[in-house]
């Protein structure tokens, strides 16, 4: 691949990026950032010394992240409440990422990887001097661009799956603790706060979610809204049914203890069924490594001496014949 082709590819990427950036700024004006900037100008300047240097460094980093992710303005334009959060923020909540700048970092990483991986691939192909055709080289560069664009999505999907699995496995025990707290005389709000503190060591993910719900309740939010926000942050269908049941029990005045007990038993049964399903799939998953890795080695160890003995017996007979 000649330097002219590499320069042409980089120029095309730069033009597409600049046009996309101008279009995003035109179609989605960052009104929220303007309001936040106007509020920051009223605040006092940070102190001197190491604190001021750290504040300036974080400001510069946030500026570059915002510049590299123009779509983050659209992602954060729906408001900070989880109930009105956009699809991207909801996906980040489901993965356990609650940072305010998470959407900007996510979109900036997609932008950087989309342009960085093809550039690295072009440099490697140019330095290696292989005999591939220009069509194959261009296809490799475009494939690297596609991989760089979808790599953060794959990471987010994997993080969401592991995070929700940890929440689902620990949620029945948390419901049992909550039922014990309610039976001991605590209210539902106090029970959520206490269970969140008790689950800190066994399941930090669920403890953080309960802590956020407790802070939201202390801030004056309605219990129904706080429970719905908890359900949206966790992204579990079983939790949606629990939230609806708790809201109905609160409105109709029915026993919350019985509702928690029934739902915890249902979740524990579902967790057992999932474990049995995973155990049933295990023999099929182990078949491929057994056939291709363990069985040839075992066959070699068992039949190797016999093959050598047969060769030693039959070799003189074959030569004499």
SS (H, E, C) the chain: CCHHHHHHHHHHHHHHHHHHHHHHHHHCCCHHHHHHHHHHHHCCCCCCCHHHHHHHHHHHHHHHHHHHCCHHHHHCCCCCCHHHCCHHHHHHHHCCCCCCCHHHHHHHHHHHHHHHHHHHHHHHHHHHCCCCCHHHHHHHHHHHHHHHHHHHHHHHHHHHHHHHHHHHHHHHHHHHHHHHHHHCCCCHHHHHHHHHHHCCCCCHHHHHHHHHHHHHHHCCCCHHHHHHHHHHHHCCHHHHHHHHHHHHHHHHCCCHHHHHHHHHHHHHHHHHHHHHHHHHHHHHHHHHHHHHHHHHHHHHHHHHHHHHHHHHHHHHHHHHC
Q: What is the pLDDT of residue 158?
A: 92
Rounded-to-integer distance, Cα 197 and Cα 195, Å: 5
Give the per-residue pLDDT at 43.
45
The pLDDT profile of the chain, 321 residues, written as one tens digit per residue, is 565 566 666 667 676 666 666 555 555 545 555 555 555 544 444 444 554 555 455 555 555 545 444 444 444 444 444 434 467 888 888 888 888 778 888 888 888 888 888 888 878 877 776 667 777 778 888 888 888 888 889 999 999 999 988 888 888 888 888 888 888 888 888 888 898 888 888 888 888 888 888 888 888 888 888 888 888 888 888 788 888 888 887 787 777 887 788 888 888 888 888 888 888 888 888 888 888 888 888 888 888 888 888 878 777 776 665
CB 229 within 8 A of CB 239: no
| pLDDT in the model for residue 45 | 44
Residue 54 CA: distances (Å) to CA of 63, 87, 276:
14, 32, 52
Q: What is the pLDDT of residue 85?
A: 47
> What per-residue confidence (pLDDT) applies to 77?
41
- pTM exceeding 0.85: no
Task: Output Rg (C-alpha) for the chain, integer angstroms.
Answer: 29
């Amino acid at each position: 691949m000649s330097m002219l082709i590499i320069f042409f590819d980089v120029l095309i990427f730069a033009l597409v990026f600049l046009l996309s950036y101008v279009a995003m700024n035109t179609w989605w004006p960052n009104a929220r950032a303007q309001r936040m900037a106007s509020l920051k100008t009223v605040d006092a300047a940070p102190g001197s010394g190491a604190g001021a240097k750290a504040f300036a460094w974080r400001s510069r980093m946030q500026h570059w992240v915002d510049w590299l992710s123009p779509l983050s303005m659209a992602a954060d334009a729906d408001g900070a409440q989880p109930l009105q959060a956009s699809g991207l923020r909801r996906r980040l909540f489901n993965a356990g990422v609650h940072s305010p700048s998470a959407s900007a970092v996510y979109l900036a990483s997609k932008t950087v990887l989309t342009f960085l991986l093809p550039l690295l691939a072009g440099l490697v192909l140019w330095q290696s001097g292989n005999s591939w055709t220009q069509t194959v080289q261009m296809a490799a560069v475009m494939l690297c661009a596609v991989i760089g664009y979808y790599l953060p999505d794959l990471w987010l999907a994997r993080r969401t799956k592991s995070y929700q699995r940890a929440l689902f496995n620990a949620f029945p025990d948390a419901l049992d603790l909550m039922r014990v707290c309610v039976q001991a005389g605590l209210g539902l709000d106090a029970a959520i706060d206490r269970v969140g503190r008790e689950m800190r060591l066994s399941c930090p993910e669920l403890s953080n979610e309960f802590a956020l719900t407790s802070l939201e309740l202390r801030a004056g939010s309605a219990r129904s809204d706080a429970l719905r926000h908890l359900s949206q942050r966790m992204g579990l269908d079983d939790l949606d049914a629990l939230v609806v049941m708790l809201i109905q029990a609160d409105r109709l005045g029915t026993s919350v203890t019985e509702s928690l007990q029934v739902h915890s038993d249902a979740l524990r049964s579902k967790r057992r069924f999932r474990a049995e399903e995973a155990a049933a799939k295990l023999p099929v998953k182990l078949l491929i490594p057994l056939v291709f890795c363990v069985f040839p080695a075992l066959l070699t160890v068992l039949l190797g001496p016999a093959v050598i003995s047969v060769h030693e017996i039959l070799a003189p007979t074959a030569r004499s014949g």
